[in-house]
């Protein structure tokens, strides 16, 4: 489906131990945008990402996806709209074969067998993993598992992808394939990452989080050029900070 708009207003999240992970975040992401969430450990990236499909719910402020407020009563619809890809791809893979894993979501939508098979075919082709359909997920490499996890989300045809550290642990070839796969998507993409070079290449826009607040919002290369900003956020600009 086409991309969806995501809007956060005054989003605050405090964990049970008292840690304030988000402190009044205002953010709007337009349909079809590809946006990087950047920040050091503890900046609030993963916490923000988990609010986008209701893995966490706002106690203060609100999150809206395609106009739907993310809350307990809307979770079924919101999770159809926003596909979440976990940092550890194996957390999403639990069926006997890759094809079964990718088919799991569409089958639970009540689609016909023909439609499910077509979605599986298209999703695996989109991530270059058609040849893995009959393989057992736990016998795949890390890059292959990441590709299959993304395929499982794409098979649901979401309006947005929320990806948590998608390049973590990937070798150079798998990382390049990941960038190509994500660049080819036309849905809204929100990528939480420590990989600032990936953000610069993939995302025209980056949102810099620090201590639970949005500290800067703009083109990655512009943020990286601000040495004082980068020092404050405990980040180091990549050697090549421009998009290729």
Q: Which residue, among 160, 37, 162, has the nearest Cα to 92 in the 3D structure?
A: 162
The predicted structure's pLDDT at residue 85: 93
For tokens 């407020």, the residue is 69
The predicted structure's pLDDT at residue 241: 39
Instruction: Give per-residue pLDDT as tens, 124-170.
Output: 999 999 999 999 999 999 889 989 999 999 999 999 999 999 998 88
Question: Does pLDDT of 218 surpass 80?
Answer: yes
Instruction: Give per-residue pLDDT as tens, 101-120.
Output: 999 999 988 899 999 999 99
Measured at the alpha carbon of residue 37, what is the angle toward residues 33 and 41, in degrees to the nearest 5? Answer: 170
The predicted structure's pLDDT at residue 17: 93
Q: Which two tokens stand for residue 243?
A: 């998009």
The predicted structure's pLDDT at residue 243: 42
Give the Cα separation of 214 and 37 in Å (integer): 10
Instruction: Give per-residue pLDDT as tens, 13-58.
Output: 999 999 999 999 999 999 999 999 999 999 999 999 999 999 999 9
CB under 8 Å, gap of 24 or more: what pairs does 114-122 form?
119/155, 119/157, 120/151, 120/155, 122/154, 122/155
What domains can be seen in the chain, in order of their start residue? 6-232 (3.40.50.300)
Taking all residues of the chain, what is their mean pLDDT, rounded to a whole number? Answer: 93
Calculate what percentage of the chain has a pLDDT beyond 70. 98
| Cα–Cα distance list, 68 to 63, 71, 118, 130, 157 (Å) | 8, 9, 29, 34, 17
């Amino acid at each position: 489906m086409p991309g969806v708009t995501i809007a956060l207003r005054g989003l605050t999240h405090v964990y049970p131990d008292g840690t304030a992970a988000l402190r009044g975040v205002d953010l709007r992401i337009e349909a079809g945008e590809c946006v990087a969430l950047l920040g050091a450990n503890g900046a609030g990236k993963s916490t923000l990402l988990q609010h986008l499909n209701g893995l966490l719910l706002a106690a203060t402020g609100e999150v809206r996806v395609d106009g739907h407020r993310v809350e307990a009563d809307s979770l079924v619809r919101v999770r159809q709209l926003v596909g979440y890809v976990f940092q550890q791809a194996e957390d999403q893979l639990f069926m006997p074969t890759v094809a079964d894993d990718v088919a799991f979501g569409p089958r639970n939508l009540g689609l016909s067998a023909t439609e499910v098979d077509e979605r599986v075919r298209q999703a695996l082709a989109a991530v270059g993993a058609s040849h893995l359909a009959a393989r057992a997920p736990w016998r795949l490499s890390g890059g292959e598992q990441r590709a299959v996890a993304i395929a499982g989300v794409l098979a649901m045809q979401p309006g947005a992808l929320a990806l948590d550290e998608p390049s973590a642990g990937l070798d150079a070839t798998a990382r390049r394939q990941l960038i190509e796969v994500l660049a080819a998507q036309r849905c809204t993409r929100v990528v939480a990452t420590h990989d600032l070079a990936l953000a610069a290449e993939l995302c025209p826009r980056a949102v810099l989080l620090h201590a639970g607040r949005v500290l800067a919002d703009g083109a990655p290369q512009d943020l990286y050029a601000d040495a004082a900003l980068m020092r404050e956020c405990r980040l180091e600009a990549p050697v090549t900070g421009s998009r290729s």
